[in-house]
Amino acid sequence: MTKPVPLNVPLILREVEGYLDLVMVLSDRFELDGTARDQVARRVLHFLDRIPPDREYDVERLYYRGEALRVMERYEESLVALQEAAELHPGQVHIWLAIGWCEKRLDRIERAISALEEAALIDPENALVHYNLACYFSLAGDADMALDELGKASRVDVHYLNLVKDELDFDPIRDDPRLALMLSELLTP
């Protein structure tokens, strides 16, 4: 009788991360067919289901489960896994970003803002966090906070100002002269 081969959990987690990176990059650049996207996400879930509960890997397992469900646009289910991961390790910015992303898609902007404020407490110099907070405050109709957060993002990485013109989340404050001034400063050498 042969002994079962133990699972190489770190290898499985790297493979899962690779699949998720692939589907997210393809989704960002191309109109990815929902069936293909979901097939990759289901494969990720299948791999994750093979990993037994283990405190050493629970945060990653839950985070990747949340990301796979998010890819499949199953946001409520994604939030269950992501929030559980955040409870186990509240100091991980990427988990709070994913929670905020899901809350936004569920039109719960105040909850999305709260999630990103948690992320900003963890990493106050994270431009992506501040940029997303600017988007969410804009959607909430709070131009002052949106512009403040956009300013923080651009002070860390001016590249984020380039994204504003194509970002629909800024439509609620698009006519604010302060936004126009901020963007014009980008074009001024």
What is the full per-residue pLDDT of the chain (189 aa) written as tens digits? 666 657 889 899 999 999 998 888 776 666 667 788 899 999 999 999 999 888 889 999 999 999 999 999 999 999 999 999 999 999 999 999 999 999 999 999 999 999 999 999 999 999 999 999 999 999 999 999 999 999 999 999 999 999 999 999 999 999 999 999 999 876 565
Question: Is residue 85 domain-resident?
Answer: yes
Question: Is residue 180 domain-resident?
Answer: yes
Identify the domain boundary among 71, 89, 107.
89
Judgement on whether residues 140 and 180 belong to the same structural domain of the protein: yes
Report residue 169 as tokens. Answer: 């989340």
pLDDT of residue 7: 80
Q: Nearest-CA neighbor of 112 among 125, 122, 99?
A: 99
Supply the range of the domain harboring residue 85. 8-89
Judgement on whether residues 127 and 179 belong to the same structural domain of the protein: yes
pTM: 0.90
Question: Is residue 1 domain-resident?
Answer: no
Question: Is residue 103 domain-resident?
Answer: no
End-to-end Cα separation, the chain, in angstroms: 74
Question: Is residue 20 domain-resident?
Answer: yes
pLDDT of residue 91: 96
Q: Which long-range contacts (CB under 8 A, 24 or more apart) does 40-48 make?
A: 40/71, 41/68, 41/69, 41/71, 41/72, 42/68, 42/72, 43/19, 44/16, 44/19, 44/20, 44/68, 44/71, 45/69, 47/12, 47/15, 47/16, 47/19, 48/12, 48/16
Split into its structural domains, the chain has a count of: 2
Question: Is residue 2 domain-resident?
Answer: no
Identify the domain boundary among 43, 68, 89.
89
Identify the domain boundary among 89, 107, 133.
89
pLDDT of residue 128: 97
